[in-house]
Structure 1
Amino acid sequence: MESVQVLCCLCGLPMTYSQAKMCMNCLSLRATITDTIDKEQTLEICRYCDRYNRPPWLSAKLESPELLQICLSRIKGLSKAKLIDAAFVWTEEHSRRIKVRITIQKEVENTMLEQQCIVNFVVNDTQCEDCQRSFTPHQWMAKVQLRQKVSHKRTIYYLEQIILKNHYQKDCLGVKPKKNGIDFHFGTKAHAQKFIDYIHSAVPLQVKMSKELISSDPKSNTYNYKFTFLAEIIPICRDDLLVLPKSQRIPGLGRVVMCYKLASLIRVLDIRNFRTGEIKSDRYWKQPFHVYAGREWLEEFIVLDIDERSEMHEDEPNRLKTVEVEVARSNDARFGETTYRVKTHLGNILRAGDTVLGYNLENMVGHGLETESFDDCPQVVLVKKIISKEEKQKPKIKIERIAEVEEEPDFGEFLEEVENDPELQSQILGEPSTQPTEIQLK
């Protein structure tokens, strides 16, 4: 059946017959379908965690799909029409205003009419329930005590940067620095366990849990507890010299090894043949052993000569290069009179004239352990290269703290390490990981 053509009763233009007897332009001018839309709305945002109240409280960036969904859910009267399109209208970032242009469709006198309108949102500051609890003492229900029993806090500082970069502390109500660690307070036990899982996937931990009854109702059989998790990091750091007990020996490696990396496993390097091995954290906690020598035993050496013949360790991600070098102690009164010719795994980065840190085993053997463990060991074990002033780069990162604390002497040493270690800078500056990844402890 052919459509009947008639003239619009207002403008006289030909049109397809409809009960309104008006063309779409005239109908749009006389009928308004956006009157039911409330064009002035408010959005609540927490001034501390920057989350919007939908409810529940949700995180969203400006002009993101998540924020658009929150805005649409706040528009009153939108359910009486069909939403066709929605988009943001640009506003200055600090204006505390958000504008959304919506296109709706509605039937008027048996004719589908489509119109646009702009809804203005005023952003008001408030405080969410989680932040309110964080400012109220004794409101936490679970506490994670992160500890490491060593003489310095550089490992804690580095772990603090990883937590900040990946936002692992987002569910935390409060942070309190301690002498040898940090306390994290959470509103629920589940948030505390989730935080421990993040850290456990990156560092060797031993977790012990205790609980304290705070209230009970025997009639309804309900009990409220406060949970405390003691998360103890393994007391070993990178560059530490270890003498493995006989029960912890690794096939193919001697008893004297150096920890060259700490992640979810303890990764060690034989100081004689430079083979690598791993010790699982649960194996360590079953039979713990102490560090034989830490960084306080490191001495400075100057590289005098490097043998061109070298070996490559293809199984290593960084491909350790073993070379033979001649070194001398930098603080000797007669520099160069006593030299040491040893092998090292730092062949990829060492050049003649470089300054390196190392262990002088001649001065260390016998302070508490049997000397036969050091048979066939080199006189000097080189650990790391010291970056010269010419090679130093200006710091490219701004170190943030997870809580306001007084200046600590160990933190200055950590800042210097960040400045001199490009690998450490990339780990702190890199993009946040969606999955927990291994981190290299300092």
Structure 2
Amino acid sequence: MCLNCIRADVDISEGIPKQATVHFCKGCDRYLSPPNIWVPAELESRELLAVCLKKLKGLQKVRLVDASFIWTEPHSRRIKVKLTIQKEVFASTILQQVFVVEYIVANQYCDACTRVDAQLTWKAVCQIRQKVQHKRTFLWLEQVILKHNAHRDTSNIQEFRDGLDFFYTSRNHCIKMVDFLQSVVPVKVKESQELISSDIHAGTADFKFTYSLELIPICKDDLVCLTKTMARQLSNISQLVICTRVSNTLTLLDPTTGHHAELRGSVYWDKPFPALCETKDLIEFYVIDVQFEHQYQKYGIATIEVAKAQDLSQTFLVRSHLGHILNPGDHCKGYQLSNSNFNHDNFEALNASKNHNIPDIVLVRKSYPNARKKSRNRKWKLKSMAKTEDVEQIRTKQEKMQAEKDYELFLRDIEEDPELRGMMNIFKNTDAMEEDEVEMDDEDEPEADFPEINMDELLDDMADMHIDEDMDGDE
């Protein structure tokens, strides 16, 4: 037989389907590779070609010489592959044939994306709670998580009044998040598990795991009253101290001497106690005179004469650690203990002691009243995580106003504390910069007397950047 007659009578592609289906997951942009492996692949890539060839039955009976893609519209949901095969049809007679196989791209969620899309199927949850009246700690913790990208394995993040819930499809990812939080903040961890299903014949069971983390209820700038025993253990520090930093330990400062000590979370949870005064109790004072005494590390010990900003008739003499940054005419914030009543066991024991004099005023930090009066657009901004609110949580107008107030106070803390800025990523706000340049052209003298973040500390926001490509393809 001649070649044309052999081709007319023999079809070596018989048994190989000319049409097949490949499954594509829209959630993660992956293709299903038989039997149950999902692989990422671009259009007309080697990985996608391998997936397509695995879907064809009968290729084992022929010799595959070449395989290549035929261009199709990306949105047509069709993939065409041109195959060149060879097969021996008669003795010493090898026939080569070229044909096209068309693949239909069908949408199908993978197992991981199915759990994420349902938002109900989860293996483990990390619940973070703190029993305080403000959200400043969670705002700071959110920025720390974003900087280290510790939330990348979460399937859903849900927000509650007193905390956050991180849901995971894998228990190992949840444990990794718990270890990260323990290295960042002092927490108390409780673990529980719930039986979902079990197979007594195979000896297997399916559980849901819950990790409950309670944050220490003491925040930055809170006034803390220690017990006499605990104060002696912390290098014989004073019992009335200020919390200056919250990390994996609490940094406590004696405002009269400048000495500081580290309180570990495990020591606190053995005998927990609440804060004596919180930031909502801060009162603004006006500085009348400063008598500097000596420098201790980074603090300046001084005797400062102050009066309430709204009542200058009565003055107070305060021994404080803010002598290096306060000058006559400045404003500061502190706690007034002389006219306050506290339901606190440690303070009552301290007040009953004759060997300790309780000060009338405890100054905490310098304040900037002009920063509140000026309504300005900040040249920087923060990013936030994608969170969903609890469907059963109905926030009142007062709670929304309180949340906005907490966020504004958190932004001011970032402006005033360089050490706090180093724990997070701060990005440039290009829109505010352009508006500020227009306002500066109209004004003769810019307003000041409030701290601002240096432009060198800001990062470029990749979402606002546009990459231009020239004719030669150089970026």
Normalising by the smaller structure, the TM-score range is 0.5 to 0.7
1:320 corresponds to which residue? 299
User: In structure 2, the residue corresponding to 1:293 is in which secondary structure?
Assistant: coil
User: In structure 2, the residue corresponding to 1:385 is in which secondary structure?
Assistant: strand
Say yes or no: does 1:209 pair with 2:191.
yes
Maintained 8 Å contact 1:271/1:377: no
Where structure 2 has 5 or more consecutive residues not aligned to the other structure, the ranges are 1-21, 54-63, 66-73, 76-105, 390-394, 428-475
Q: 1:248 to 1:126 in 2, by over 3 A?
A: farther
Query: How many correspondences in the alignment?
Result: 331
Q: What does residue range 64-83 of structure 1 map to in structure 2 within 5 Å?
A: 73-74=47-48
Maintained 8 Å contact 1:130/1:173: no
Q: CA deviation at 1:53?
A: 6.3
The 1-side partners of 2:410 and 2:214 are apart by 24
Q: CA deviation at 1:57?
A: 7.3
Q: Say which of 362, 368, 372 aligns to 1:387.
A: 368
The 2-side partners of 1:164 and 1:180 are apart by 20
Q: CA deviation at 1:44?
A: 7.0
Q: Say which of 414, 420, 425 aligns to 2:406.
A: 414
User: In structure 1, the residue corresponding to 2:235 is in which secondary structure?
Assistant: coil
Q: CA deviation at 1:43?
A: 12
User: In structure 2, the residue corresponding to 1:283 is in which secondary structure?
Assistant: helix
Q: 1:320 to 1:394 in 2, by over 3 A?
A: farther
Q: Say which of 260, 264, 267 aligns to 1:280.
A: 264
User: In structure 2, the residue corresponding to 1:328 is in which secondary structure?
Assistant: strand
Q: What does residue range 257-272 of structure 1 map to in structure 2 within 5 Å?
A: 257-272=241-256
Q: 1:242 to 1:58 in 2, by over 3 A?
A: farther
Q: Which amino acid aligns with 1:151?
A: Q
User: In structure 2, the residue corresponding to 1:292 is in which secondary structure?
Assistant: coil
More helix by share: 2
After TM superposition, the score normalised by the length of structure 2 is 0.61
Q: What does residue range 187-266 of structure 1 map to in structure 2 within 5 Å?
A: 187-249=169-231, 250-266=234-250
Maintained 8 Å contact 1:258/1:271: yes
Q: 1:71 to 1:342 in 2, by over 3 A?
A: farther
Q: Which amino acid aligns with 1:174?
A: N
Q: CA deviation at 1:127?
A: 5.8
Q: 1:322 to 1:224 in 2, by over 3 A?
A: same
User: In structure 2, the residue corresponding to 1:282 is in which secondary structure?
Assistant: helix
Q: Say which of 333, 336, 352 aligns to 1:372.
A: 352
Q: Say which of 126, 147, 150 aligns to 1:168.
A: 150
The 2-side partners of 1:137 and 1:43 are apart by 23
Q: Say which of 340, 353, 359 aligns to 2:316.
A: 340
1:142 corresponds to which residue? 124
2:451 corresponds to which residue? none
User: In structure 1, the residue corresponding to 2:205 is in which secondary structure?
Assistant: strand
Q: CA deviation at 1:145?
A: 0.9
2:15 corresponds to which residue? none
User: In structure 2, the residue corresponding to 1:197 is in which secondary structure?
Assistant: helix
Maintained 8 Å contact 1:258/1:268: yes
Q: CA deviation at 1:311?
A: 1.1
Q: Give CA-to-partner distance per residue, 1:122-161, whole Å, 9 cap, x none.
A: xx99865433311214310111111001122221122122
Q: CA deviation at 1:246?
A: 3.2
Q: Which amino acid aligns with 2:319?
A: K
The 1-side partners of 2:300 and 2:157 are apart by 43
Q: Give CA-to-partner distance per residue, 1:193-227, whole Å, 9 cap, x none.
A: 00111111000011100111110111111011111
The 1-side partners of 2:236 and 2:359 are apart by 17
The 2-side partners of 1:390 and 1:287 are apart by 40
Q: Give CA-to-partner distance per residue, 1:341-385, whole Å, 9 cap, x none.
A: 222222343232222110112123655423135923432111122
Q: Say which of 305, 311, 333 aligns to 1:357.
A: 333
1:402 corresponds to which residue? 386
The 2-side partners of 1:183 and 1:390 are apart by 35
Which deviates the most, 379-388 or 367-376?
A: 367-376
Q: 1:54 to 1:305 in 2, by over 3 A?
A: farther
The 2-side partners of 1:349 and 1:127 are apart by 60
The 2-side partners of 1:323 and 1:132 are apart by 63
Q: What does residue range 60-139 of structure 1 map to in structure 2 within 5 Å?
A: 73-74=47-48, 129-139=111-121
Q: Which amino acid aligns with 1:382?
A: L
Q: Say which of 330, 333, 347 aligns to 2:309.
A: 330
Which deviates the most, 236-245 or 193-202?
A: 236-245
Maintained 8 Å contact 2:185/2:247: yes
The 1-side partners of 2:178 and 2:209 are apart by 13
The 2-side partners of 1:197 and 1:58 are apart by 30
Q: 1:252 to 1:246 in 2, by over 3 A?
A: closer
Maintained 8 Å contact 1:272/1:377: no
2:287 corresponds to which residue? 303
After TM superposition, the score normalised by the length of structure 1 is 0.66
The 2-side partners of 1:367 and 1:201 are apart by 32
Maintained 8 Å contact 2:127/2:164: yes
Which deviates the most, 401-410 or 378-387?
A: 401-410
Give me the identity figure in percent.
29
Maintained 8 Å contact 1:245/1:289: no
Q: Which amino acid aligns with 2:154?
A: C
Q: CA deviation at 1:263?
A: 0.5
Q: 1:341 to 1:58 in 2, by over 3 A?
A: farther
Q: 1:365 to 1:311 in 2, by over 3 A?
A: farther
The 2-side partners of 1:379 and 1:240 are apart by 16
Q: Give CA-to-partner distance per residue, 1:173-199, whole Å, 9 cap, x none.
A: 111111210111111111110011111
The 1-side partners of 2:409 and 2:23 are apart by 44
Q: Say which of 413, 423, 428 aligns to 1:427.
A: 423
